[in-house]
Amino acid sequence: MSGFQESWGSRLGLVLAMAGNAVGLGNFLRFPVQAVQNGGGAFIIPYLVCFLLMGIPLLFVEWSMGRFGGVRGNHSTPFIMDSMAPKQFIWRYVGVFGIFTNIAVAAYYCYLESWTLGYMWYSVSGQFSGMSAAEVSGWFGWYTGFDAIHNVVFWILCLVLNTWILSKGLSGGIEKVAKVGMPLLILFGLVLAIRGITLESGENGAVESGTTGLNFLWNPDFSSIWTPKVWLAAAGQIFFTLSLGMGSIHCYASYLRSRDDVALNAMSAGWMNEFVEVVLGGAIIIPITVGYFGVDGMKDLVNQVGGLGLGFRTLPYLFQQWGPVLAALSGLAWFGLLFFAGITSSLAMGTPVMGFLRDEFGMRRNTSAILFGLAVFILGLPTVFFFHYGVFDEYDYWAGTVSLVVFATLEIILFAWVFGMDKGWAEINRGADIRIPGIFRYIIKYITPAFLLFVFIGSLPGIWDMLTHKELLEQIQASPDPEQTTFLEKKMWFVNLSRMVLLAIWLFIAAMVYKAYRQRIQKSSPLNPTN
Amino acid sequence: MTISAIFMWVGSVLIVTGVTAYFFYRILTNPRPPEVPVDEDAPEGFKTFDVT
């Protein structure tokens, strides 16, 4: 069996790349909003419990699966899973999710990442100087609309950058970006967090102090702990923040050697993500927004525009209150940290696709990187040009939310019940630099699958509502304006088209997996003259 | 800030920072250099398939 020689250059580089894969825009934009909406400070209790019972076990499982497959020459989930249950063909096709998710998520995520690049540029060039809150907020609508061409320029720049870094390989590209990007992200995050916490009432027009926002975020409402909705939100947050169920962790881990540690590496990368999310993510947008809009104003903004809106529609305006120099520097730091959070994640999405193309179709690294870039460009076009028709949200919901839960639920069943917990436990502990408490063996076998099923079943009503366009149909029925009704009907058409596209991508990858499997059979056939 | 908010915030920050620092200390004091020289652009090819 011939395999390519690519591997990680250093252990620190691997851990930083894995942490970079997990740390994304959600650490700064999603976590604080989830905490505000689900019990404030008390949210941290279900959140950490879910991290221990679902996050850490799944990290162990995905790292081990990746190393197991990689040692056998497989760097993508279809054949990693196939190598764990070679007699059951179904797992090969379950593994299709591990490629599908990465392509489909990258298609819209790179566009989101390009906003941070664009906003970094416009912050430094003083675009927001002198604008009112409403103007800065409205500027976002213009930036993502049909009229703007520069959003396309920044998007293409972002795609080229991702493709170029991916073409440099693991140690020459991804690892170098992680080693520079992650420390810079933490530095920028610390500067902004200190600024947010130390904001004084009356300073530069602030109506409240930063600690008022911190108090609102962390003041515990313990009654919320008994609400299933809060546990579902905590489980969902842990799931998405760690990039579980995507296939990218498997792929990164597949470049480990057979006796390399997975236990300590997985814990380090996972906890680093928690540090960025809880310590830094919890101390920036809420304290600063409360400082200028007060608690009620911040709650209204969260309900209207969500975390993403706070980050792009509100903060650029608030930075302007600190004077032109600090505004430019704060904009650079804020959008810079979001950019590093984004690019370290999008690079991780390219690797499984490239691994599959290189493993199965013998492509060179540059060719596979360019193909990935092209695929993301083509599939991303609808998210860029029809953003306001809900294409972006549709990709995010089906590929970036539902697929992850489905894949993770199935992969843990494969690991704990099909591959077997005895072999699985031995795999996790092989070469481990830390002693893993034996209770995790039972958690992985019983509790984590139950947790995942709880998350999946809890999400079913929402999935059904999405599938049947419940919200959109209600909006159409309630719309008094014929123009608005036409827009909503058009939106429904684009939503349906997006679903067709996503289904077609999944089926296309499944067909490629089938072709790759047939090629493997032919290669190993005794009738093959090369054998 | 209320006492309970300070308690939740400081407690969370200390736990998360402490555990992260501990694991990173373990990583930094136990580096593992690559076993084989890295040749990232080595020619790839089809693998044979272990039908067993």
Q: Which residue has the higher pLDDT, A456 or A69?
A: A69
Contact status of A6 with chain B (Cβ, < 8 Å): yes
Q: With CB atoms and an 8 Å threshold, state whether A434 touches B48.
A: no
Q: Are A28 and A338 in contact (CB under 8 A)?
A: yes
User: CA neighbours within 13 Å on the CB side: how many for A142?
Assistant: 7
pLDDT of residue A456: 87
Phi, psi of A40 (to 5 degrees): 60, -125
- Based on the structure, what is the number of domains in chain A? 1
Q: How far apart are CA A507 and CA A515, in angstroms?
A: 12
Quick: pLDDT tens for A87-121: 899 999 999 999 999 999 999 999 999 999 999 99
Residues 6+ apart with CB under 8 A from A165: A173, A174, A177, A343, A347
* % pLDDT > 90, chain A: 69
A97-124 and A77-84 are packed helices; what angle lies between their axes, rounded to 10 degrees? 150
Residue A46 belongs to some domain of the structure = yes
- Chain A / chain B CB contacts < 8 angstroms: 151
Q: How far apart are CA A292 and CA A309, in angstroms?
A: 16
Q: How far apart are CA A443 and CA A231, in angstroms?
A: 18
A389 CB neighbour count, 10 Å cutoff: 21
Q: DSSP code of A223?
A: G
Q: Which two tokens stand for residue A21?
A: 């894969």
Report the SS3 class of residue A220: strand
For tokens 């930094």, the residue is: B28
pLDDT bucket at A306, cuts 50 / 70 / 90:
confident
Q: Does A1 score more than 60 pLDDT?
A: no
Give the bridge partners for A117, in sequence order: none
Q: Which residues of B touch A434 (CB under 8 A)?
A: 26
Contact status of A264 with chain B (Cβ, < 8 Å): yes
Q: What is the mean pLDDT of residues A255-265?
A: 91
Residue A5 belongs to some domain of the structure = no
pLDDT of residue A440: 96
pLDDT of residue B49: 41
Residue A2 belongs to some domain of the structure = no
Q: With CB atoms and an 8 Å threshold, state whether B16 touches A279.
A: yes
In this structure, what CATH number is given to the domain that contains residue A435?
A: 1.20.1740
Residues 6+ apart with CB under 8 A from A174: A17, A165, A166, A168, A347, A348, A351
Give the chain B residue whose CA is nearest to the CA of A173.
Answer: B40
Q: DSSP code of A51?
A: I
Residue A176 belongs to some domain of the structure = yes
Q: Which residues of A touch B17 (CB under 8 A)?
A: 275, 279
Contact status of B29 with chain A (Cβ, < 8 Å): no
pLDDT bucket at A47, cuts 50 / 70 / 90:
very high
Residue A62 belongs to some domain of the structure = yes
CA angle A15, A17, A20 (to 5 degrees): 110
Phi, psi of A160 (to 5 degrees): -65, -45
Measure CB to CB from residue B30 to each of A44, A433, A524 and give the nearest one: A433
Phi, psi of A302 (to 5 degrees): -60, -45
Q: Which residues of A touch B49 (CB under 8 A)?
A: 520-521, 523-524
Q: With CB atoms and an 8 Å threshold, state whether A274 touches B33.
A: no
Q: Which residues of B touch A523 (CB under 8 A)?
A: 46-49
Residues 6+ apart with CB under 8 A from A209: A199, A200, A201, A291
Contact status of B3 with chain A (Cβ, < 8 Å): no
The nearest CA of chain B is from the CA of A431 a distance in Å of: 12
For tokens 């998350």, the residue is: A455
Q: Which helix (H) or strand (E) holds A41?
A: none
Residue A307 belongs to some domain of the structure = yes
Q: With CB atoms and an 8 Å threshold, state whether A275 touches B17.
A: yes
Contact status of A348 with chain B (Cβ, < 8 Å): no
Q: Which residues of A touch B30 (CB under 8 A)?
A: 11, 264, 433
Cα–Cα distances (Å) from A239 to A163, A220, A361, B33, in that order, read: 27, 23, 32, 31
Q: Which two tokens stand for residue A242?
A: 């760690």
Q: Are A426 and A67 in contact (CB under 8 A)?
A: no
pLDDT of residue A529: 64
Quick: pLDDT tens for B1-52: 889 999 999 999 999 999 999 999 999 988 765 555 445 555 444 444 443 3
Cα–Cα distances (Å) from A156 to A101, A111, A115, B38, in that order, read: 21, 9, 11, 31
Q: With CB atoms and an 8 Å threshold, state whether B1 touches A524.
A: no
The nearest CA of chain B is from the CA of A271 a distance in Å of: 5
Average pLDDT over all residues of chain A: 91
Q: Which of residues 13-72 of A touch B (CB under 8 A)?
A: 15, 40-42, 44, 48, 72
Write out the residue range of the structural domain in which residue A26 sits.
Answer: 11-524
Measure CB to CB from residue B27 to each of A42, A215, A268 and give the nearest one: A268
Q: Which residues of A touch B4 (CB under 8 A)?
A: 41, 219-220
A243 CB neighbour count, 10 Å cutoff: 27
Residue A105 belongs to some domain of the structure = yes
Q: Which residues of A touch B27 (CB under 8 A)?
A: 11-12, 15, 264-265, 268
Quick: pLDDT tens for A405-463: 899 999 999 999 999 999 999 999 998 999 999 999 999 999 999 989 988 888 899 89
Residue A237 belongs to some domain of the structure = yes
Indicate the Cα dihedral angle B10, B13, B15, B17, nearest 10°.
Answer: -140
Q: Does A4 score more than 60 pLDDT?
A: no
Quick: pLDDT tens for A239-251: 889 999 999 999 9
The nearest CA of chain A is from the CA of B25 a distance in Å of: 9
Q: With CB atoms and an 8 Å threshold, state whether B36 touches A5.
A: yes
Q: Are A283 and A452 in contact (CB under 8 A)?
A: no
